Structure 1
Amino acid sequence: MFVLLVVCLAISYAFCDISVAQESEISFLKDKFLQMQTIVTKQENRIAYLEETVLRQNTEILNLNVEVSRLRPKIRTLEQSLYSLKNILRRKTSPNPRNMVKCVTKPDIKQDHVPNSVHRREIGKGKRILLQGTPTVNSPIGFYAFLSQNENNPGIHHTIIFDVKMTNVGDGYNSFSGMFTAPKDGLYAFAVSIIMIHEYASYELVKNNAVQGSLFVDAEHSGEWRSSSMTVVLSMFHGDVVFVRTSSSFTPHGSVHSSEDGRSSFAGWLIQ
Structure 2
Amino acid sequence: MMASTTLIFLLCLGFTFSRGNVEEDITDVKALLREAMSEIGELKRDNDLLKQEVREIRGLKMDNSLLRHEFGNLAKKVDVLRDVVGRECHRNDDSDVNGETETSNNHPRIRKLSPDALIATSNPVAFFVYMSSNIQPGADQILKFNVIELNLGNGYHSYSGIFSAPEDGVYAFSYGITCGVGGSLYFKFMKNGNLIIVKRCDNDEDSDDYKELSGTIITQLASNDEFYISTQRSCTTSVTSYTESKSFFSGWKIN
- How far off is 1:201 after superposition? 1.0
Q: Give me the whole-angstrom Cα distance separating, in 2, the residues matched to 1:271 and 1:193.
A: 20
Contact 1:146 1:264 in 2 (8 A): yes
> Which amino acid is the alignment partner of residue 234 of structure 1?
T
Q: Structure 1 residue 139 and structure 2 residue 117: aligned?
A: no
Q: Which residues in structure 2 correspond to 1:1-272 (within 5 Å)?
A: 137-151=121-135, 153-198=136-181, 199-221=183-205, 222-247=207-232, 250-272=233-255
- How far off is 1:197 after superposition? 2.0
Q: Give me the whole-angstrom Cα distance separating, in 2, the residues matched to 1:156 and 1:230.
A: 22
- How far off is 1:204 after superposition? 1.1
- How far off is 1:223 after superposition? 2.5
State the TM-score, normalized to the length of structure 1: 0.48
Contact 1:197 1:220 in 2 (8 A): no
Q: Give me the whole-angstrom Cα distance separating, in 1, the residues matched to 2:202 and 2:248.
A: 17
> Which amino acid is the alignment partner of residue 199 of structure 2?
L
SS at match of 2:240: coil
In the TM superposition, what whole-angstrom CA distance separates every residue of 1:2-47 from its partner, at most 9, and x where no partner exists?
xxxxxxxxxxxxxxxxxxxxxxxxxxxxxxxxxxxxxxxxxxxxxx
- How far off is 1:164 after superposition? 0.4
The alignment of Structure 1 onto Structure 2 pairs a total of residues equal to: 137
SS at match of 2:138: coil
> Which amino acid is the alignment partner of residue 192 of structure 2?
N
Contact 1:173 1:179 in 2 (8 A): yes
- How far off is 1:262 after superposition? 0.5
Give identity over the alignment, percent: 29
Q: Where does the alignment leave 5 or more consecutive residues of structure 1 unmatched?
A: 1-120, 125-135
Please list every run of at least 4 consecutive aligned residues from structure 1 whose deviation after the TM superposition is greater than 2 angstroms. Answer: none
Q: Give me the whole-angstrom Cα distance separating, in 2, the residues matched to 1:214 and 1:195.
A: 16
Q: Give me the whole-angstrom Cα distance separating, in 2, the residues matched to 1:209 and 1:143.
A: 21
- How far off is 1:215 after superposition? 1.6
State the TM-score, normalized to the length of structure 2: 0.51
Contact 2:174 2:216 in 1 (8 A): yes
SS at match of 1:261: coil
Report the aligned-residue RMSD.
Answer: 1.8
Q: Where does the alignment leave 5 or more consecutive residues of structure 2 unmatched?
A: 1-97, 102-119
In the TM superposition, what whole-angstrom CA distance separates every residue of 1:25-77 from its partner, at most 9, and x where no partner exists?
xxxxxxxxxxxxxxxxxxxxxxxxxxxxxxxxxxxxxxxxxxxxxxxxxxxxx
- How far off is 1:261 after superposition? 1.3
> Which amino acid is the alignment partner of residue 243 of structure 1?
Y
Q: Give me the whole-angstrom Cα distance separating, in 2, the residues matched to 1:262 and 1:245.
A: 20
Contact 2:137 2:234 in 1 (8 A): no
Q: Give me the whole-angstrom Cα distance separating, in 1, the residues matched to 2:140 and 2:246.
A: 21
Q: Give me the whole-angstrom Cα distance separating, in 2, the residues matched to 1:213 and 1:137.
A: 32
Contact 1:192 1:229 in 2 (8 A): yes
Structure exhibiting the larger radius of gyration computed from Cα positions? 1
